[in-house]
Amino acid sequence: MAATTSEVFAFLAGGSRFAVERQEIFSAAFGAMRHGMRTIFMKLREIGDRDADEAADRLRNLLSEWLTVPAPFDGAALGSLRNFGSPVEVGVRWGLDIRTNYEIALRGALDLQEVENPARTCVRNKIRDLRKTGQAFKIYCHRTTRPHFDSLLAPDDQPLAPENFLHSVREYRDSEIFDTMIKVGPLRSWGWGSAPDAIRSAPRFATLAQIVWAGCGDEPGFGYDPVAPSADAGDTKAGPVNHDEALVSRVSWTPHVTRFGADSATHADDFPVEDDFQIFGSLNTPGEKRRAILVRIGTNHGILYPARAQIFSFDPEPRSRAPIWRRQLGESLLEGMFVIRQRLDDIFFGGQKVEHDHYSQIWKSRLREEIQNNPDALVRRLRASGINLASLTAVIHNWCLTPTTVIHAPHSSKHFEILIGILGVGSGGSDGRQPLSPPWWQRAWSEIRHSRGDAIQAGIQEHEIIDDQLLVLLFDLLPRMRELAVTRDEFSVALPADNSVHGTALFNKVVAVEDGFLAPDTELKVVMDLNAIEQWRA
Amino acid sequence: MQFSDFNNPWQQVPPWVGFLIRFGFEWPAGSQIRRIALVSMPCDSPGAGLITLGALIRDLGNATANDADGHFDALSRHAKQFLNDCGPCTLPECDPKVKGCGYSKKAHGRVRSVDHPRGYWTISDETNFNDNTLAWQQGAVVLRPTVNGALRWHLDGEPPTQLRATAGALPENRYKQIVEGTRIIPENLRRSFSGLCLAGRVAGEEQSREVCASIRFRDDASDNALDDLLTIYGWSSVDVSRVAFYNSRTEQLDRAKPPPALIVADGGDSFLKTSSAARFQQSDVIGVIQRTMERTRLEAIGDKLTALRQWYIQDEDMLCGLPALPNGISISIFRKRN
């Protein structure tokens, strides 16, 4: 149950000593792997072409995950790195320098297989200590990383309970007062390992047990308060302070730093410790990606929208004066409302309405056959052709799923073309279309894009524009929409046929809103699997 | 005076509650300089309601804080809108944005009498704006109230401007004990006032009301929830209303009155809306936010304050004059440059 306002103020005024117990972890093998990956990342960014940028992003994501999650080093690190190919292939593709660092990273990853991830050891020890002293604790982590915390305890340890976890600012807001917060990784306001600023600016606990890899510094300005943004949230001075333009009275944090693992001095010359997140941030390519906010629609899917985008949405609240309107995420577009996507009939198809899974039925059926007959061979052929996705087998199974309002498929057109080529569907066969019509894979890809709400008409991206006529049409359908919204989280409404705009409006209930993504324009406003969205976490 | 939140045991009024009430009470009334303040709280709270309560008690001691002055003009404005525009409007459902009429809300043309509150009268087309005569009718009966007589009439769906007797008026002691030593003008206890406004949460009016209802004050004679004490029309057991309510979600004020002098905005989104709204550009705004929000939303508020700094300066006098700040609260106050 959430702490009441009085309980929070009583706690803050109650003379608790607020401490950050920071455990910094050193590991020679991890340091080598990290150094190799970081150097490759920087060099790939210098190359700057699309392939190099994609590879750099994958490396950044891998390393960011290991720096913020206590994942086991049971070959996963090595396996993920090896997805980039053999050192020879890497050398041929990007040069000797990158190959050398790749080999360093691989050697580090190989060595890591022999040891337990020290971050796991630290978290386990901390949990055991807290339990021994009867302290109430919570772990702040991303929802998808929870299994790594569940798995780090021994079988004879009492398992972690759901109330031991916090995954969002909302859950933090609704939590009671407790003793210790456990956080793996640096304090960052968004992206990998992000946490609410309130952890520092409005604590519900007296001790922050922070487990970080050496070199990972907290984000400057973490603990942001709009009233006094320039105030150092880590200020050790307690009580009211008159900042430039505000009167601020907040708790003071006392830092205690301990070190864990190999002595830093031993390997300092080989692989100097650096702040990877700072490097990733400075070498970002903001021109190609945009800050994005995730709207979760259901258990496994979500849509990334540009931060501060005005989104065409439906408020099912009967008293709403503007039930269908453009709203801003997190401000006026709230959980419980519906995002509206349009699937309008396409000019390319001559106005003839197309079954939204016409092509997908064909290629998915072929894909299922391949998966049943020889899944390993399919994975090998896809990898050899350039689809180097992590967990490719699992991804392929996802592509096989029956379409709902979205067709599960590769997220880039390049990968889709490769897939269709390997499956051999649509080649040479006639589907009754004119000989000069685009290749089969392009028509199938168009269908996928439609299912993702990425309607393209006459070559113009239109989903930035709300058609006034569509707005009027939907107003006429309000009673039906409200009726459906009561019982369903996802529904579609066909637009009346006697209008110039034909098609369907798709409605998805907003389950949760999450900030902290950086994604290219092509990945925005399309329905994607949540696992696929993870790659765009900043 | 004792205090309880979420039905916890009664206790002395805690410092954070006392501070926020005092903050509202001390807020300068009738100043010609516009001020904007932001109060940052460590958790969700009825902070906006408490500041509003303090300002309400302050206004009870202000002889000019009532809707009686200018009431006849307000009725005339409503009548003109009804007879000239809203009455003849052909839109099936009122939508000023679609119509482009420039009004914020429909004039329904109905009035009620404090003497006979059950039935309503309709503004009659016998109204003559040239000789300043209002007229309303019920069936064949037409009434033409005088300027003084109009005080007994109010618009349907709004609180009465002035009660005839003390029945339905505010109990004096209930407010006197919350801010000790305060002076209350008895006439104000039976008059409504629209110069003070609580802007509710964007999530909806009910959310604001619920959080206010979660705390209670008790004295020797009564036990009152904050939502009741605020006298917002529709929330309170008393007839008069000393606080207007602005629904930040629908962007509607609960009464057809000029913009309030002070708006207390509950939540960051509400603060952003009210401090930027053209109709409130002369009003003081106090925003109350909680820091347990997503960074993007916090930054949107920070950006707003940064933008304000072009035209506003820190109000050092007010900041320095504040009572002791409870641990966990931050406050910024700006006043418009001369």
Q: CB–CB of B230/B236 below 8 Å?
A: yes
Residue A391 is predicted with a pLDDT of 62
Contact across the interface for B328 and A225, Cβ inside 8 Å = no
Please provide residue A175's backbone torsions phi and psi, each rounded to the nearest 5 degrees.
Answer: -90, 160
* pLDDT tens digits, A5-27: 999 999 999 877 899 999 999 98
Instruction: Name the most confidently modeled range: A171-175, A242-246, A410-414.
Output: A171-175
Percentage of the residues of chain B whose pLDDT score is greater than 70: 100
Query: Which band of pLDDT confidence, cut at 50, 70 and 90, is reported for residue A345?
Result: low
Contact across the interface for A251 and B328, Cβ inside 8 Å = yes
Q: How far apart are the C-alpha atoms of B232 and B52, rounded to whole Å?
A: 11
Substitution target in A173, A174, A199, A247 with the highest count of B β-carbons within 10 Å is A247
Query: Which band of pLDDT confidence, cut at 50, 70 and 90, is reported for residue B181?
Result: confident
Residue A241 is predicted with a pLDDT of 57
Q: How far apart are the C-alpha atoms of B240 and B191, rounded to whole Å?
A: 6
Interface list for B 11-50 with A (CB within 8 A): 11, 14-17, 38-47
Residue A464 is predicted with a pLDDT of 39
Residue A351 is predicted with a pLDDT of 32
Chain A interface includes B319 (CB < 8 A): yes
pLDDT at residue A452 greater than cutoff 70: no
Query: Which band of pLDDT confidence, cut at 50, 70 and 90, is reported for residue A230?
Result: low
Token duo for residue B205: 């009016």
- Specify the residue for token string 């439609």: A450
pLDDT at residue A321 greater than cutoff 80: no
Could you tell me if the ipTM is greater than 0.85? yes
Contact across the interface for A226 and B301, Cβ inside 8 Å = yes
Contact across the interface for A321 and B332, Cβ inside 8 Å = no
B46: distance to nearest CA of chain A, Å?
8
Q: What is the mean pLDDT of residues B193-197?
A: 96
Nearest CB to A8 within list B42, B204, B301:
B42
pLDDT at residue A430 greater than cutoff 70: no
* List of chain A residues whose C-beta atoms are within 8 Å of the C-beta of residue B13: none
Contact across the interface for B294 and A331, Cβ inside 8 Å = no
Residue B61 is predicted with a pLDDT of 95
In Å, how far are A144, A452, A527 from A442, measured between CA atoms?
A: 34, 15, 19
Q: What is the mean pLDDT of residues A464-475?
A: 63
Q: How far apart are the C-alpha atoms of A379 and A398, rounded to whole Å?
A: 14
pLDDT at residue A498 greater than cutoff 80: no
Distance of CA A183 to the CA centre of its chain: 18
Residue A380 is predicted with a pLDDT of 86
pTM for the full predicted model: 0.75
Question: Which of A382-396, B43-57, B148-162, B200-214 is least confident?
Answer: A382-396
Contact across the interface for B46 and A196, Cβ inside 8 Å = no
Contact across the interface for A9 and B295, Cβ inside 8 Å = no
Q: What is the mean pLDDT of residues B178-204?
A: 92
Please indicate whether residue A487 or residue A267 has the higher confidence score (pLDDT): A487
Q: How many residue contacts between A and B have a Cβ separation below 8 Å?
A: 159
B250: distance to nearest CA of chain A, Å?
6
Q: Which residues of B26-37 are buried (b: 16+ CB within 10 A; e: fewer)?
A: bbebeeeebbbb
Contact across the interface for A169 and B292, Cβ inside 8 Å = yes
Chain A interface includes B98 (CB < 8 A): no
Residue B102 is predicted with a pLDDT of 82
* List of chain B residues whose C-beta atoms are within 8 Å of the C-beta of residue A225: 40, 291, 298, 330
* pLDDT tens digits, A388-413: 765 677 778 878 877 765 677 887 77
Residue A350 is predicted with a pLDDT of 32
Residue of B nearest to A307 (CA): B296
Residue A390 is predicted with a pLDDT of 57
Q: How far apart are the C-alpha atoms of A343 and A345, rounded to whole Å?
A: 7
Residue A486 CB coordination number (10 Å): 7
Interface list for B 184-223 with A (CB within 8 A): 202-204, 214
Interface list for B 114-173 with A (CB within 8 A): none
Q: CB–CB of A122/A25 below 8 Å?
A: yes
Token duo for residue B304: 């707003």
Residue A470 is predicted with a pLDDT of 72
Half-sphere exposure of B182 (CA within 13 A, CB side): 25
Q: How far apart are the C-alpha atoms of A35 and A274, rounded to whole Å?
A: 8
Q: Kindly provide the residue ranges of all beta strands, DSSP E only, lying in A87-176, ordered along the sequence.
A: 137-140, 165-166
Substitution target in B310, B330, B337 with the highest count of A β-carbons within 10 Å is B330
Contact across the interface for B331 and A247, Cβ inside 8 Å = yes
Q: What is the mean pLDDT of residues B139-168?
A: 87
**Which amino acid, one-letter code, is at A530?**
L
Substitution target in A1, A7, A9, A17 with the highest count of B β-carbons within 10 Å is A9
pLDDT at residue A273 greater than cutoff 80: no
Nearest CB to A249 within list B249, B292, B327:
B327
Contact across the interface for A2 and B44, Cβ inside 8 Å = yes
Instruction: Name the most confidently modeled range: A231-240, A287-296, B307-316.
Output: B307-316
Percentage of the residues of chain B whose pLDDT score is greater than 90: 62
Please indicate whether residue A535 or residue B214 has the higher confidence score (pLDDT): B214
* List of chain B residues whose C-beta atoms are within 8 Å of the C-beta of residue A332: 202, 249, 269
DSSP state of A188: B
Contact across the interface for A5 and B292, Cβ inside 8 Å = no
pLDDT at residue A264 greater than cutoff 70: no
Residue A243 is predicted with a pLDDT of 58
Residue of B nearest to A189 (CA): B295
In Å, how far are A113, A167, A361, A365, A415 from A357, measured between CA atoms?
A: 45, 36, 6, 12, 19
Query: Which band of pLDDT confidence, cut at 50, 70 and 90, is reported for residue B246?
Result: very high
Instruction: Name the most confidently modeled range: A199-208, A227-236, A266-275, A471-480.
Output: A199-208
Q: How far apart are the C-alpha atoms of B296 and A293, rounded to whole Å?
A: 10
Contact across the interface for B330 and A13, Cβ inside 8 Å = no
Residue B226 is predicted with a pLDDT of 97
pLDDT at residue B325 greater than cutoff 50: yes
* List of chain A residues whose C-beta atoms are within 8 Å of the C-beta of residue B328: 8-9, 12-13, 202, 249-251
Contact across the interface for A330 and B16, Cβ inside 8 Å = no
Contact across the interface for A242 and B319, Cβ inside 8 Å = yes
pLDDT at residue A467 greater than cutoff 70: no
Query: Which band of pLDDT confidence, cut at 50, 70 and 90, is reported for residue B189?
Result: very high
- Specify the residue for token string 């309002």: A405
Residue of A nearest to B14 (CA): A6
Residue B218 is predicted with a pLDDT of 93
* List of chain B residues whose C-beta atoms are within 8 Å of the C-beta of residue A320: 249-250
Q: What is the mean pLDDT of residues A316-331?
A: 79
Residue A463 is predicted with a pLDDT of 43
